[in-house]
Chains A and B, each alone.
Chain A
Amino acid sequence: MKFAVVVFPGSNCDVDMYHAISDELGEEVEYVWHDVDSLDDFDAILLPGGFSYGDYLRSGAIARFSNVMKAIKKAADEGKPILGVCNGFQILLEAGLLPGAMRRNNTLTFICRPVKLRVENNETMFTSQYERGEVITIPIAHGEGNYYCDEQTLQQLTANNQIVFRYEGENPNGSLQNIAGIVNEKGNVLGMMPHPERAVHELLGGADGLKLFQSIVTYWRDAHVVTT
C-alpha cells in the first residue's frame, strides 16, 4: 500500500507522518509537493499538520486553493482514504470536503499536550482496529481547534454517525459537542485535530495512534488483496 504525505509551504508535521508510515507501519510512503496534478499513484492521502501559508487569513484558507486540491477532491470522489490532521483537518474544512469550520480555542491559547479521546465510531476505514468507546491518548497541538457547525449540520453528523472522536473528560478547546474528529458522509475522508502520527511508539509517550494507520491498511488489504 502506498501513502502520500502532501506537503504545503508551512507544513511541519510531514516528517512525523512519513516516519509513522515508513518506520512504524512499514508501508510505502512518499512526500508530495502541493503543486502536483495527480495523486493517482497513491492508495491513501495524508494531509499533515503545520501552518500552511503561515495560517494567513484563516488556517487552511489559502492552502485549499493549491493545485493538489483538485487531485485530493478526485481521490475523495474515488473513495480513497484521506486523512487530515490538525492543519490538514482545517484545510479539508476550508475546501468543503468536510462540513463546519474552526474557531480560535476558547482559552485563546495554543495548547500542546496529550489528551484523552473516545472512539465514538469504530466502523470506519480509519478506526476498525479500535474498540467502540475505547479511550485513547493522543497529543494535540493547536490554537484553532474549536470546531463549529450549525445545528442542521450537527444533526446530520450525529444521524450519520460521522463523529468519530470526541474529547473525553475535559474539552481542551471549546469544540462543539466535544468533537475532535469527523468523517464525511461517505466515510473516506477523516479530519481530526489530535495527532495520531505523534503517538506511534512508546518512546514517543504512547502508541495509541498506530491503530488508526493499521485500520487504513486493513481496509485497503481487504479491498485489494486477494488471499487464496
Chain B
Amino acid sequence: MYKVKVYVTLRENVLDPQGNAVKGALHSLNYREVQDVRIGKFMELLVEKSDRDIDAVVKEMCEKLLANTVIEDYRYEIEEVVVQ
C-alpha cells in the first residue's frame, strides 16, 4: 500500500486572491516580514499496489483530475506503508 500526499497550488504567474488577502491579514498582525502567501490544497490518497508504476499512476491522476494545469502546479510524495 502507498500513502500519497498531493499538494496543489496556483501557478506562480497566476494571481492568488486568497493568498493576497491572507498576506494582508498577516501584515496587519505585524508580521511585516511575510513576502508572499500561496494557498493551495493538500490531498492524502491511500493507493493499493498494482502492476502499474505508482509514480506514473499518481502523475496521471494529477494531470487528469486533481490539478487543473492551466492555472495550478502540483507535486506529490509517495510513501510505502503497511496497513494492519
- Where the two chains meet, the residues of A that have a C-beta atom closer than 8 Å to any C-beta of B are 57-58, 61-62, 65, 93-94, 99-101, 103-108, 146, 148-150, 174
Contact = CB atoms under 8 A, between A and B. Distances in A.
Secondary structure at the A interface, as helix, strand, loop or mixed, is: loop
Contacts of B14: 103, 148
B17 A103 contact: yes
Contact of A174 (B17, B18, B41, B71): B17
Given A57-B65, A65-B65, A108 B70 contact: no
B15 to A, nearest CB: 7
Contacts of A100: 70
Binding site secondary structure of chain B: mixed
Contact of A103 (B10, B21, B66): B10
B68 A108 contact: no
A106 B66 contact: no
Contact of B70 (A105, A146, A148, A174): A148
Interface residues of B, number: 12
A58 B70 contact: no
Nearest to A173: B17
Nearest to A65: B65
A48 B66 CA distance: 24
B23 to A, nearest CB: 13
